[in-house]
C-alpha cells in the first residue's frame, strides 16, 4: 500500500542522513557477526539518530516482563509505546523470534512490538484475543532501503515525532480497509453489482444481465478464491459490516434529530 504520509523536512533530512550512515554500520555488523549485546547498542543508536528518541530518557533496557528484561523499550511520557526484541546482526529472524517478541508485549499489555537484527525491522500489532494473535503492520530492510519519499515515510512511522500523531495507528487502520479482501467483498455488494449492470446496459444497448449472473462470474472467474474464503476475508466482511452498522446508526440519529427539530 502506498504511503501518503507527510514527513516534516527536518525529520526527513535526519532519516536520510541516518540511512546513509547506518546502512554501512549494519552491513559490517552482519559481516563481523557481532554479538546480540553489540547489536542492541547499534539499534539503540539508530533509534536515537534516525528515529529521533532521547537515548537516555526514552530508551531503556530495564523494562521488566515476568521476571526478565526485554532488550529495549521505547518509553515516552511515562508510557511504553514499543517493546523491542533484538537478535544479533547475523541472525535470521524467524517465527520463534516473533512469538517471543509478541509474548513480551502481550504479558505487559503493550500492543506494538518491534523485532530487529539491525538490518531487518518488523513491526507487529498484537491482537489481545483468545488466543493472542498478531499481524505485521510495516517492515523494512536497512541494507536495501532507499531514500525515496515512500521509504522515508515508512521509517517516519516509528519516529518520535510520529508518536503524538499516532501515524502508525492511522496507517494500520487504513491497511485494514484498503486491501484486496475488503475490495473483493465490496465488489460483491449490491450497490457495486447494480452499478456494473447499469454500466453494461449503458455501453451495450439492449443487453440484459441479472445481478446473480454478474456475482457468479465475479466469484468464479474474476476474484481470487483466497480473497473470499480465508481468515482475512472473514475479517474483511466484519470490517464492512461494522461500517454499514455505523452508517445506519448515523442515519437513524440524523432522522431522529430532524423529527425533534
Q: Return the domain boundaries, the chain.
A: 9-166, 180-260
Cα separation of 27 and 90, whole Å?
9
Q: At the top level of CATH, which class does the domain 9-166 belong to?
A: alpha beta
- Which pLDDT does position 172 carry in this prediction? 65
Residues 116, 61 contacting (CB under 8 angstroms): no
Cell numbers 449492470 correspond to 197
- Which pLDDT does position 101 carry in this prediction? 81
- Which pLDDT does position 35 carry in this prediction? 93
Q: How many Cβ atoms are within 10 Å of 157's Cβ, its own excluded?
A: 24
Entry field: residues in the chain: 261
Cell numbers 518491534 correspond to 114
Helix (H, G, I), strand (E, B) or coil at 213: helix
Q: How many Cβ atoms are within 10 Å of 75's Cβ, its own excluded?
A: 19
Residues 129, 97 contacting (CB under 8 angstroms): no
- Predicted TM-score (pTM) above 0.75: no
Cα separation of 45 and 158, whole Å?
14
Record the cell numbers describing residue 147, joined without a space.
531514500
Q: What is the pLDDT of residues 133-147, one digit of tens each?
A: 888 888 899 988 988
Record the cell numbers describing residue 70, joined without a space.
526485554
Compute the CA torsion angle 104, 99, 123, 169 (nearest 10 deg): -70
- Which residues in the chain come in under a pLDDT of 70? 1-4, 62-69, 165, 172, 261
Amino acid at each position: 500500500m502506498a504511503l501518503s504520509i507527510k514527513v516534516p523536512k527536518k525529520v526527513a533530512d535526519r532519516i536520510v542522513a541516518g540511512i546513509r550512515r547506518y546502512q554501512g554500520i549494519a552491513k559490517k555488523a552482519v559481516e563481523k557477526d557481532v554479538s546480540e549485546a553489540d547489536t542492541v547498542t547499534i539499534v539503540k543508536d539508530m533509534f536515537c539518530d534516525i528515529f529521533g528518541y532521547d537515548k537516555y530518557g526514552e530508551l531503556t533496557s530495564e523494562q521488566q516482563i515476568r521476571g526478565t528484561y526485554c532488550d529495549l523499550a521505547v518509553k515516552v511520557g511515562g508510557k511504553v509505546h514499543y517493546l523491542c526484541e533484538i537478535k544479533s546482526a547475523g541472525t535470521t529472524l524467524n517465527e520463534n523470534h516473533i512469538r517471543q517478541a509478541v509474548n513480551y508485549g502481550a504479558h505487559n499489555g503493550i500492543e506494538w512490538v518491534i523485532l530487529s537484527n539491525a538490518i531487518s525491522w518488523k513491526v507487529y500489532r498484537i491482537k489481545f484475543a483468545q488466543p493472542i494473535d498478531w499481524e505485521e503492520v510495516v517492515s523494512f530492510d536497512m541494507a536495501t532501503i532507499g531514500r525515496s519519499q515512500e521509504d522515508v515515510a515508512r521509517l517516519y512511522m516509528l519516529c518520535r515525532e510520529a508518536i503524538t500523531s499516532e501515524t502508525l495507528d492511522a496507517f494500520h487502520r487504513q491497511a485494514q480497509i484498503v486491501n484486496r479482501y475488503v475490495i473483493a467483498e465490496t465488489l460483491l455488494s449490491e450497490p457495486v453489482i447494480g452499478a456494473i449492470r447499469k454500466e453494461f446496459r449503458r455501453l451495450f444497448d439492449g443487453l440484459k444481465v441479472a445481478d446473480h449472473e454478474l456475482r457468479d462470474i465475479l466469484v468464479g472467474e474474476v476474484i481470487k478464491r483466497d480473497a473470499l474464503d480465508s481468515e482475512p476475508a472473514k475479517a474483511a466482511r466484519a470490517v464492512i459490516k461494522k461500517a454499514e452498522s455505523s452508517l445506519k446508526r448515523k442515519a437513524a440519529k440524523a432522522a431522529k434529530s430532524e423529527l425533534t427539530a
